[in-house]
Amino acid sequence: MKRVMIFGLAAVALSVLTARGAHAQAVYKCGAHSYSQQPCSSRVVRTYDAPVPVNPKPRDVVAHRLPGETQAEFNTRKRRTALSESDRDECARLDKRIPVEQERLKKPQEDEVDDAQAALGEIKKRSAKLHC
């Protein structure tokens, strides 16, 4: 029984060691900001030394106004490019709710006006929190 247990532990340890070696690859530093897996220099670096962008730049590049877009819409779109996709979606949803709540403010029923004012307050709070 002990022999089987020792053999099993040795097999597990051996498989872990070979798995680590199989995934490790040499990385060569080719220039100031470039690395390669192919030998381009004699300098071999550890992979955890290679620079990895922590906060990559947003992919939505805002360079100019779109056709038919007002300056205010352009500024809003430009400001929101730094937000995550889910936050941009939520900001767009909040933007669509504002006119609906403003229409509810115009109705003569007092309880609906109070609800609309409360909803507008919540929309503004959430928009400020998301930096819409």
- Which stretch of DSSP H or E encloses residue 45? strand 44-45
| 55 is a domain residue | no
Per-residue pLDDT, 74: 92
pLDDT tens track of the chain, all 132 residues?
Answer: 555 555 555 555 555 555 444 455 677 777 777 777 777 777 776 666 556 666 656 566 667 888 999 999 999 988 888 888 899 999 999 999 999 999 988 888 888 888 889 999 999 999 899 888
- Say if 27 falls within a structural domain: no
Is 2 within a domain? Answer: no
Q: Give the total number of structural domains in the chain.
A: 1
Give Cα separations from 85 to 8, 10, 81, 122 (angstroms): 48, 48, 9, 21
Residue 40, token pair as written in the block: 């381009």
Specify if 38 maps to a domain.
Answer: no
Start-to-end CA span in the chain (Å): 66
- For residue 22, the model assigns a pLDDT of 46
Rounded CA gap, 93 and 75, in Å?
18
Q: Does pTM top 0.85 for this prediction?
A: no
Alpha-carbon Rg of the chain, whole angstroms? 29
Is residue 13 in a domain? no
Residue 57 has what DSSP assignment?
P
- Residue 40 located in a structural domain: no
Residue 96: domain span: 82-130
Residue 15 lies in a domain: no
CA distances from 44 to 18, 37, 131 (A): 21, 9, 44
pLDDT at residue number 69: 92
Whether residue 7 is contained in a domain is answered as no
